[in-house]
Amino acid sequence: MSEFLSFATTYLPYLLQGALVTIEIAVIGIIFGSILGLLVGLGRISKNPLLSQISRFYIWVIRGTPLLLQLFVIHFAIPSVFSALTLPPFVSACIALSINAAAYIAEIARGAIQSIDKGQMEAARSLGLSSSQAMRRVIIPQAFRRMLPPLGNEFIALIKESSLVSTIALYDLLRTGQQIISSTYRYMEVFLLVGLIYLLLTTIMSFIVGKIERKVGAYE
């Protein structure tokens, strides 16, 4: 046990630096994924058939293909065709996570918006609001409360899925652990530490999301 503690004391700072990268790309992914996802979700329920079909196609493609493939397309395939679009691993990771999260968040947003009673829109229109104003001021604020629980789950899932970015040489938590293994050959100790840090991150996020949900009355 003392040997493990000594090993952990030596290498934990490096793993925490990798964990910081994991948190950064997950936060960026959920922020931009939420913005894009809301737009795609609104497009999905739009009365404009072209916009609706484009949104449906986007969701179909992204949800139907692995995140790892999307990551490789953005980081390797696109630059191989358009050299000017070569991106650093961090940027590629953020784009891939945002695009992937957006497809799932779009369905979350669509379901939440459609769950609001249609009478809310009719009441807003009767007060003189346009459809877009009613959506922004009445429907979306109510839908957001219902979106919070699945959004929290998506963020937690994104933290774990971000481990895939280690495949493009981005030194996140998992990649840092792999680097330590290559120099120490201490597989069990490193993977145990990495697992504990992931568990700690997801537990903290679950606690924070739960507090926010209770504060805004997401389950009411």
Of 168, 135, 151, 144, nearest to 31 by C-alpha is: 151
- Structural domain spans, the chain: 2-216
Contact status, residue 123 vs residue 142, Cβ threshold 8 Å: no
DSSP class of 165: G
pLDDT per residue over 24-45, tens digit each?
A: 999 999 999 999 999 999 999 9
Which residue from 157, 161, 186 is spatially nearest to 173, judged by alpha carbons? Answer: 161
Residue 217's pLDDT is 65
- Measured CA to CA, the distance from residue 40 to residue 107 in angstroms comes to 9
Give the pTM: 0.90
Q: Which residue has the higher pLDDT, 126 or 20?
A: 20
Specify the CATH architecture of the domain 2-216: Orthogonal Bundle (1.10)
Q: Given this model, what pLDDT does residue 143 score? A: 85
Residue 70 has pLDDT above 80, yes or no: yes
Residue with tokens 């992204």: 62
Q: What is the pLDDT of residues 103-150, one digit of tens each?
A: 999 999 999 988 888 888 878 778 888 877 888 788 888 888 888 889
Q: Look at residue 220 in the predicted model and tell me its pLDDT.
A: 52
Name every residue whose Cβ is closer than 8 Å to that of residue 69 and which is 6 or more positions away in sequence.
none
User: 99 in helix, strand or coil?
Assistant: helix
Q: What is the mean pLDDT of residues 197-214?
A: 91
Neighbours of 170 (CB within 10 A): 25
CA-based nearest residue to 39, from 140, 184, 148:
140
The sign one gets for the Cα dihedral 136, 137, 141, 143 is negative
Helix (H, G, I), strand (E, B) or coil at 46: coil
Q: Which two tokens stand for residue 8?
A: 């952990």
